[in-house]
Amino acid sequence: MNRLAWTPTYTARIVQIAVINGVNLNALGDRDPDIYCTITYGELETRVYEWASHLAVTARCFQTNHEGQLVDWCHEARSWADGVVINPGAWTHYSYAIRDALELFTVPIVEVHLSDITAREEFRRQSVIADLAAARIVGQGADGYRQALEFLTSR
């Protein structure tokens, strides 16, 4: 190949994914297994790290029960994350603070819910972050996180 004539093409590749979980998700395993899943939060994180590794990306998992902490992590993740997977828990339904924090991202966001929030109580059907998400995955249990990672890495 004539190296002078060769023009490299660069494809933006997702390499670091922030997986952010909100309020009460640390109690997985104790929460109703018929609605959520039987695995604990720790086991969920382990699976996320394994799935990410299979997809040759790095995932960094976060969970908090404090809204301001989640906002701070979103702000920090702007400097390193190439994609975001978020399950804000109940904050999904009313936190404009988290919505505003997510709005700052320029990288794709996937909204994940273990349960099918579209088929539960009325108050859960509303998501104040839905329109910010490049994809929404609901009702797939823990596998929803795998699907979210796949979505981000397939873009």
Kindly list the residues in this chain that would bind ligand DQA in the complex (CB under 6 A): 24, 87, 89-90, 92, 113-115, 117, 124
Among residues 95 and 153, whose Cβ is nearest to ligand DQA? 95
Among residues 82 and 149, whose Cβ is nearest to ligand DQA? 149
75 annotated active-site? no
Distance between the two ends of the chain, CA-based, in angstroms?
30
| Strand partners of residue 84 | 18, 109
Specify burial of residue 141 (Cβ count, 10 A radius: 0-12, 13-18, 19+): middle
113 annotated active-site? yes
User: Please, what is the minimum distance in Å from the beta carbon of residue 35 to ligand DQA?
Assistant: 7
Query: What gap in Å lies between CA 58 and CA 48, rounded to an integer?
Result: 10
Among residues 25 and 82, whose Cβ is nearest to ligand DQA? 25
Query: What gap in Å lies between CA 70 and CA 118, rounded to an integer?
Result: 24
User: Please, what is the minimum distance in Å from the beta carbon of residue 107 to ligand DQA?
Assistant: 21
Which residues carry out catalysis?
Answer: 36, 113
